[in-house]
Chain A
Amino acid sequence: GAVVSQHPSWVICKSGTSVKIECRSLDFQATTMFWYRQFPKQSLMLMATSNEGSKATYEQGVEKDKFLINHASLTLSTLTVTSAHPEDSSFYICSAKRDGDTQYFGPGTRLTVL
């Protein structure tokens, strides 16, 4: 158990367009999901915490109007990168919190903005 999926696994888009990434917990319900970003050779940086049925909590320096998060159900959270620019190109990873403190990660989405 504890499987988290992400879709798409990779996406290439033009500058100025919006991209939506889905994160699903497949075999458990997750009241809390997290969105991370990882640049090459860097560690995971938490972007926001997504709670089902309420507004996401964003980390300092992360623009909430640019990175829209929706956690509409106990198994789905979405991250929309609005008006994407080349500097938004990165590896975006979601995780879902199951029991206690353990987070289980999705396989990640590689975003490339041309």
Chain B
Amino acid sequence: EDKVVQSPLSLVVHEGDTVTLNCSYEVTNFRSLLWYKQEKKAPTFLFMLTSSGIEKKSGRLSSILDKKELSSILNITATQTGDSAIYLCAPRSGGSNYKLTFGKGTLLTVNP
């Protein structure tokens, strides 16, 4: 059975802090890993990672995949209150059984 564990489950920081969110996974025929941000409604896409060690960056957010350790991290620098959300990671299993398995997410709260 595919497993995804995210840590921490929740995190409270002040504006301007830097945070690191963790995701570890065990999936059959791993192909890629996706990060999403979920506010009040459905998730919005952040990153897709396929290769180990190559950082993807978008503004203050960045993410990297470690296939050897079966893990990924999502960094957010200079956090803002608008970053408050649940961050979900979802590894994708490959082959004909295309499927994303979602972790429980990390609830990030950024206080002013």
List A residues at the B interface (Cβ < 8 Å): 2, 32, 34, 42-46, 49, 93, 95, 97, 100-108
Please determine whether B42 and A49 come into contact, CB atoms closer than 8 angstroms.
Answer: no
Please determine whether A97 and B98 come into contact, CB atoms closer than 8 angstroms.
Answer: yes
Please determine whether A101 and B48 come into contact, CB atoms closer than 8 angstroms.
Answer: yes
Please determine whether A49 and B104 come into contact, CB atoms closer than 8 angstroms.
Answer: no
A101 in complex: contacting residue of B31, B88, B103, CB < 8 Å: B31
- B104: which A residues are within 8 A, CB to CB? 42-43
Please determine whether B48 and A100 come into contact, CB atoms closer than 8 angstroms.
Answer: yes
| A-B contact number at CB 8 A | 49
Q: Is B100 part of the contact surface with A, judged by Cβ < 8 Å?
A: yes
Please determine whether A102 and B103 come into contact, CB atoms closer than 8 angstroms.
Answer: no
Instruction: Name A2's closest neighbour in chain B (CB-CB).
Output: B45
Give Cα distance in the complex from A39 to B101, angstroms: 16
Tell me, rounded to whole Å, the shortest Cβ–Cβ distance linking A15 to chain B. Answer: 26
- A108: which B residues are within 8 A, CB to CB? 41-42
Give Cα distance in the complex from A107 to B38, angstroms: 10
- A93: which B residues are within 8 A, CB to CB? 42-43
Please determine whether B42 and A107 come into contact, CB atoms closer than 8 angstroms.
Answer: yes
The contact string, 1 if C-beta is below 8 Å from chain A, for chain B 22-33, is 000000000110
